[in-house]
Amino acid sequence: MRRVLLADATNRIVLSTTSSDIGNLLPELTATADQFWRTTDLTNTTGKFGVLAIEFSTAPLRQAHRTAWHLGLRIAITGMAVIVFAGVGLGFVLTRRLGHLTRAAQRVTAGDEYVAVGLRGHDEMAQVGRAFDAMAQQIAEDHTQLQESASRLRAILDTIVDAIITIDDQGRIESFNPAAERIFGYTVAEVRGCNVTMLMPSPYREAHDGYLAHYRDTGERKIIGIGREVIGQRKDGTTFPMDLAVSEVPLNGERVFTGIVRDIMEHKQAQEALRQAHDGLERRVQERTAELAAANEEVRRFAYIVSHDLRAPLGNMKGFANELRDACSVIQAALPTALPHLDEHQQRAVTIALEQDIPEALGFIRDYQDLLVSHVSGTFP
């Protein structure tokens, strides 16, 4: 503090630590590099009655600032040195642990399934290491499950009897299972990356890319999701009928189309053989029917002839039987007169013949005649 000034209400100095200031007006109280002012208005109930101004020198403050700056600088340098040494030591430890993590991560990236960092302690790096170990273990387990799933899927695709072909949205072949190799005659190396139209004859080959482009532009489906019968072409150029079912599979933001193909050549051949066998059997039935109809007509003609040829003999037989019956009646009427002239044995023989043998023969002739007449009349009118 350099000086103290007390001024009245008109800013005229009435009291000062420097006697030369008394009676003068308060100077302009502005701060400079060497000094600055602090002022306070003096008031009472009637209002302002004076001003108290105190001038301070900046030299002590500058000296204190320089002292504090130098002290702070020494403290900062000392602290920085401590921090540097501590940082170097900590950095060495962190670098070693980060090196473990880096090498472990590189091994996981390279495909090593079982990786463990094994950091001990309770600090943050140890926690990161344990988290990494848990993550690596989970990755190993997931990788094992994926390998098992892939193996099962590959076994299914390799043994399935139907061809399974996948293409991208440009029609390029991406996968070709063993059944497809067997059906079309190509190896997977020969078809991968080629357009699927190589498996089609004309006009399917020329129209296929247009179908794909139309579907990409409009979303209108013509075969996707719908199974139908089409014609395929083998490597040797031969064609064959096949059932084709196409489905769309979104994969990683891209369109993949899966086609399932079944060779129905044997089925078609079996159908044709069955149709030919049916037609042959139908022709044989018609021929046999015609033969039976002709044979039946021959039998009818024969029966007609036989029936007419038998009527006359049957009529004659009936007449002869009636005459024989009449003759027996005459003999029986004359028998009492003739019997006395016959011996006992002759009488018995004549009586048996007239009363038993001849009537039984006439009855048999009559019955057989009636039977023949009924058959001829009933069957062959």
Residue 98 in this model has a pLDDT that exceeds 70: no
> What integer pLDDT is reported at residue 238 of this predicted model?
93
Report the distance separating Cα 66 and Cα 61, nearest Å: 8
pLDDT exceeds 70 at position 8: yes
What percentage of the chain carries pLDDT values higher than 90?
12
What are 138-180's pLDDT values in tens digits?
777 777 777 777 777 777 767 688 899 999 888 899 999 999 9
Encoded tokens for 203 = 């006009």
Instruction: Look at the block and give the residue holding tokens 């950095």.
Output: 91
Positive or negative torsion for Cα 320, 326, 329, 335:
negative
**Residues 283/297, Cβ–Cβ less than 8 Å:** no
CATH code for the part of the protein at 162-263: 3.30.450.20
Joined tokens for residue 350? 């004549």
DSSP annotation of 32 reads -
User: Encoding tokens for residue 356?
Assistant: 């038993």
* pLDDT score recorded for residue 71: 75
Paired residues of 121 in beta bridges:
none
Q: What percent of the chain has pLDDT over 70?
A: 70
What are the DSSP E strand ranges found in 235-305? Answer: 239-251, 254-263
Q: What is the tens place of the pLDDT at every residue in 303-334?
A: 666 666 666 666 666 676 777 777 777 776 76
Is pLDDT at 137 greater than 60 in this prediction?
Answer: yes
Residue pair 163/265 in contact (Cβ under 8 Å)? The answer is no
Is the whole-model pTM more than 0.75? no
- Largest Cα–Cα distance in the chain? 227
Q: Is the pLDDT of residue 1 over 60?
A: no
The structural domains of the chain, with segments of one domain joined by +, span 3-57, 65-145, 162-263, 301-379
Q: Which of 131, 215, 294, 15 is nearest to 118 (CA)?
A: 131
| C-alpha–C-alpha distance, residues 118 and 120, integer Å | 6
Q: What is the mean pLDDT of residues 327-342?
A: 70
Q: What is the DSSP letter of 27?
A: P
Q: What are phi and psi of 134, to 5 degrees?
A: -65, -40
Long-range contacts of 116-123 (CB under 8 A, 24+ apart): none
